[in-house]
């Protein structure tokens, strides 16, 4: 394969192992175009809240949306940040957020924590769950709180859409994770429309990076010298997701398209028969939920009672 980019300059960057080489500027342009292609047309003319962890994925997404804000006619771009209550992560994230605030002075950075929203930090919930042998992994607890927390912040700040930094790896690994955990129905969440009983709609989640590999995102973040959080969460080693990631990485050595195939098969599935579920406000925390009590409140009750 040629080491020259199509523009004639030396190429050294690829989107995936079998793609052609690109120079930095062609790579960057193509990368941004791929992201824009993943954003449905109906998003234009609305406000977007980016769920920002500070890692390379969400920082890259924020950068690209900020750069293309006018083209996409985004009326307001904001970043929502949820602190888990892990001190090392919090301190490192604070530095990154401060740098991002300087880079994007026109963006609102809205920060809150699990403790503020749910009364308990993640380490407290993990400790209580472990002590009682409830079998919740830290990531399972964190995932539920994050999903509800992001939605609450987006609603409070009147965002029309929530942009998530999920990558190709995140999406493919999650599909396999749900199958291994025996919860394959979670893979069909994308085809459920949640209809609140007391308002027109809820902010919709979009995942513009879902077809882009982490390696390509890392290359883009380096080209643009984005400040990114590199600290790992103290609970990461306990996640089943990292085992699945290692497994799929090893398969990718022989079949570089395996994650594309996994995500494509699920996209086909979610195109069929959309389901509408009516949701109401949770009796405890006012999050929207198909049950009287939302999944976050039910989980916290179970752990802390
Ligand atoms: S590794 Fe797990 S517990 Fe830690 S921040 Fe990520 S999802 Fe939450
Ligand atoms: Zn080029
Ligand atoms: Zn609740």
- Is the same domain home to 33 and 87? no
Q: Which residues lie below 8 Å from residue 223, measured CB to CB, with a gap of 6+?
A: 24, 27, 28
292 occurs within a structural domain: no
293 occurs within a structural domain: no
Mutate to test the pocket of ligand 1, among 239, 240, 299 (most ligand atoms within 8 A of CB): 239
Range of the domain at 22: 1-37
178 occurs within a structural domain: yes
167 occurs within a structural domain: yes
Which protein residue's CA is at the shortest distance from atom 3 of ligand 1? 139
- Is the same domain home to 27 and 55? no
pLDDT at site 194: 84
Q: Looking at the CA of residue 239, tell me the nearest atom of ligand 1.
A: 2
- Is the same domain home to 19 and 79? no
The terminus-to-terminus CA distance of the chain in angstroms comes to 61
- Is the same domain home to 212 and 84? yes
Cα-to-centroid distance, 35 and ligand 1 (Å)? 25
- The total domain count for the chain is 2
Q: Does residue 234 line the site of ligand 1, with CB under 6 A?
A: no
Mutate to test the pocket of ligand 1, among 121, 174, 236, 243 (most ligand atoms within 8 A of CB): 236
**What are the start-end ranges of the E strands in the chain?**
47-51, 76-83, 108-113, 161-163, 192-196, 204-206, 275-281, 288-289
Q: Does residue 54 line the site of ligand 1, with CB under 6 A?
A: no
Q: Does residue 263 line the site of ligand 1, with CB under 6 A?
A: no
Which protein residue's CA is at the shortest distance from atom 1 of ligand 1? 236
Buried b (16+ CB within 10 A) or exposed e, 35-55: beeebeeebeebbbbbbbbbb
Tokens (6 digits) for 181 = 């955990």
- Is the same domain home to 84 and 146? yes
- Is the same domain home to 210 and 81? yes
- Is the same domain home to 31 and 77? no
- Is the same domain home to 245 and 173? yes
- Is the same domain home to 118 and 10? no
pLDDT at site 198: 84
Q: What is the pLDDT along the chain (305 residues), one digit of tens a residue?
A: 558 999 999 999 998 877 899 999 999 999 999 999 999 999 999 999 999 999 999 999 999 999 999 999 999 999 999 999 999 999 999 999 999 999 999 999 999 999 999 999 999 999 999 999 998 999 999 999 999 999 999 999 999 999 999 999 999 999 999 999 898 888 876 667 889 988 888 999 999 999 999 999 999 999 999 999 999 999 998 888 889 999 999 999 999 899 999 998 877 665 666 788 899 999 988 889 989 999 999 999 999 98
pLDDT at site 190: 66
- Is the same domain home to 33 and 49? no
Q: Does residue 72 line the site of ligand 1, with CB under 6 A?
A: no
C-alpha count within 13 angstroms, C-beta hemisphere, residue 103: 19
Tokens (6 digits) for 109 = 């950075």
Cα-to-centroid distance, 123 and ligand 3 (Å)? 19
Q: Does residue 142 line the site of ligand 1, with CB under 6 A?
A: yes
- Least Cα distance to 83 among 178, 181, 137, 153 occurs for 153
Which protein residue's CA is at the shortest distance from atom 5 of ligand 1? 233
Tokens (6 digits) for 37 = 């292609």
Helix (H, G, I), strand (E, B) or coil at 270: helix
Q: Considering Cα of 240, then 245, then 246, then 250, what sign does the dihedral take?
A: positive
- Is the same domain home to 24 and 54? no
- Is the same domain home to 24 and 99? no
Residues whose Cβ atom is located within 5 A of ion ligand 3: 282, 284-285, 287, 294, 297
290 occurs within a structural domain: no
Cα-to-centroid distance, 197 and ligand 3 (Å)? 16
CATH number of the domain enclosing 222: 3.40.50.620
48 occurs within a structural domain: yes
253 occurs within a structural domain: yes
Q: Does residue 245 line the site of ligand 1, with CB under 6 A?
A: no
**Residue 59 to residue 221: CA distance in whole angstroms:** 8
Q: Considering Cα of 212, then 252, then 25, then 264, what sign does the dihedral take?
A: negative
**Residue 191 to residue 151: CA distance in whole angstroms:** 18
pLDDT at site 24: 96
pTM of the model: 0.93
Which protein residue's CA is at the shortest distance from atom 7 of ligand 1? 139
Q: Does residue 177 line the site of ligand 1, with CB under 6 A?
A: no
Q: Does residue 137 line the site of ligand 1, with CB under 6 A?
A: no
282 occurs within a structural domain: no
């Amino acid at each position: 394969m040629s080491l020259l980019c199509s523009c004639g300059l030396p190429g050294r960057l690829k989107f995936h192992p079998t793609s052609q080489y690109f120079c930095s500027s062609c790579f960057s342009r193509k990368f941004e175009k791929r992201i824009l292609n993943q954003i449905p047309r109906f998003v234009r003319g609305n406000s977007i809240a980016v769920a920002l962890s500070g890692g390379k994925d969400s920082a890259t997404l924020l950068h690209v949306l900020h750069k293309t804000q006018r083209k996409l006619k985004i009326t307001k771009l904001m970043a929502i940040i949820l602190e888990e209550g892990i001190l090392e992560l919090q301190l490192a994230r604070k530095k990154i957020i401060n740098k991002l605030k300087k880079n994007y002075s026109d963006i609102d950075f809205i920060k809150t924590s699990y403790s503020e929203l749910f009364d308990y930090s993640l380490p407290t919930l993990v400790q209580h769950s472990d002590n009682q042998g409830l079998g919740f992994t830290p990531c399972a607890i964190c995932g539920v709180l994050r999903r509800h927390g992001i939605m609450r912040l987006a609603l409070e700040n009147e965002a029309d859409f929530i942009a998530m930094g999920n990558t190709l790896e995140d999406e493919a690994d999650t599909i396999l994770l749900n199958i291994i955990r025996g919860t394959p129905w979670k893979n069909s969440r994308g085809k459920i429309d949640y209809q609140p009983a007391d308002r027109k709609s809820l902010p919709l989640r979009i995942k513009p990076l879902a077809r882009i590999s982490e390696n390509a995102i890392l290359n883009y973040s380096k080209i643009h010298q984005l400040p990114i959080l590199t600290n790992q969460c103290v609970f990461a080693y306990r996640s089943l997701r990292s085992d699945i990631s290692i497994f799929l990485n090893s398969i990718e050595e022989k079949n570089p398209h395996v994650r594309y195939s996994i995500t494509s098969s699920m996209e086909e599935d979610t195109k069929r028969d959309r389901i509408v579920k009516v949701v109401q406000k949770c009796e405890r925390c006012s999050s929207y939920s198909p049950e009287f009590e939302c999944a976050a409140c039910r989980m916290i009750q179970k752990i802390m009672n």
